[in-house]
Amino acid sequence: MRMANLPTRLARHIRGVLRIGAKAAYASRLASQIEQYRAVENIHELPAIFHYWSNRHLRPRMNRIFESDSIPEFYARPFLAASAACAKRPRFLSLGAGDCSTEIEVARKLIEMGLEDFEMVCLEVSPHLIKRAEAALEAAGLSGRVSVKQTDVNSWQPDEDYSGTMANHSLHHLVELESVFEGVRKSLRPGGVFVTNDMIGRNGHMRWPEVLEVVELLWEFLPRRLKFNHQAKRWDDKFMNLACSADGFEGFRAQDILPLLSRLLGGRLRGCSCAGHPSLASAGVRVSEIHGVWRSHRHFLRSGIRAQF
């Protein structure tokens, strides 16, 4: 039965109950997300294979397209250019800054590139990460330029304007993407830029169906010593296509990020994306080509050819 067909008071009561349930579910996820990073010393730490892959395949393209050889430079260059486009004192914003480790390096790069007078505001919801960020900013001598503000980015509404806004691996944690992107659009000064580096694969960081098929087949060939799940501290004899957003916000709306950015921000977006179909498309590789290569080689794998480890 539709709400419109229910008595007014009953319909209001049901809507109220649903809102309370939704708020409780969100609060539970948020608490899980905050706890997840509470004791993690390096929140940006990744396994060695990621750095091998990114340095070998992504870094040359990043150098060529963005004229940058590091993540701090990737953010600092457009920030510097945007600062020159406006007579006001440069002001930058970081959405979901964590412990500000990346923002500290961006600030240092801006100073190194000649921009001495600027302000950077970092939004973060976790009190544990904010405490670490403030200590790190003090140690780096950047407290006068960079500040941290406790804010749930999902409910953020801009009260200042900015020369540039950054989001470093934070968008895939957000629920209210439309509202956040609209806030970014409204708060950018003329000539301002939004710069992001993020994971934009399948929701929950799950494997896409065609990729899962390959992974599951290869998993059969892997020696058991390579099937230890270091994060969960267990042996995964069968590949687990885990939905990382089941309890928290990991990859909660990852699939929506790129389409929404393109639609809402268009030419004011500067970004580097990785993981999933969008990165293949940006690399000039069509998914249909991947399917064709896979179909032509699948029977070799199933014939019993084993990878040598």
pLDDT averaged per 10 residues in sequence order, the chain, 309 residues: 51 45 73 69 78 89 88 95 92 96 97 96 94 96 95 95 96 94 95 90 91 93 91 90 84 91 70 41 31 38 39
Number of structural domains found in the chain: 2
Q: Looking at the structure, do residues 19 and 158 belong to the same domain, yes or no?
A: no
Q: Looking at the structure, do residues 58 and 32 belong to the same domain, yes or no?
A: no
Q: Looking at the structure, do residues 26 and 119 belong to the same domain, yes or no?
A: no
Q: Is 294 exposed, middle or buried (0-12, 13-18, 19+ CB in 10 A)?
A: middle
Any bridge partners for residue 229, and if so which? 234
- Which pLDDT score is estimated for 266? 67
- Under DSSP, the state recorded for 304 is T
Cα four-point dihedral sign 167, 180, 250, 198: negative
Rounded to an integer, what is the distance from CA 204 to the centroid of its chain? 12
Is 167 contained in some domain?
yes
Hunting for tokens 């007078």 — which residue is that?
Answer: 117
- Which pLDDT score is estimated for 51? 87
Domain that holds residue 28: 3-36
Is 302 contained in some domain?
no
Is 286 contained in some domain?
no
- DSSP characters over 19-37: HHHHHHHHHHHHHHHHHHT
Q: Looking at the structure, do residues 18 and 84 belong to the same domain, yes or no?
A: no
Prediction pTM value:
0.77
Q: Looking at the structure, do residues 182 and 271 belong to the same domain, yes or no?
A: yes
Q: Looking at the structure, do residues 16 and 81 belong to the same domain, yes or no?
A: no
How far, in Å, CA of 46 to CA of 27, rounded? 28
Q: Looking at the structure, do residues 104 and 252 belong to the same domain, yes or no?
A: yes
Q: What is the CATH number of the domain that holds 168?
A: 3.40.50.150
Q: Looking at the structure, do residues 142 and 175 belong to the same domain, yes or no?
A: yes
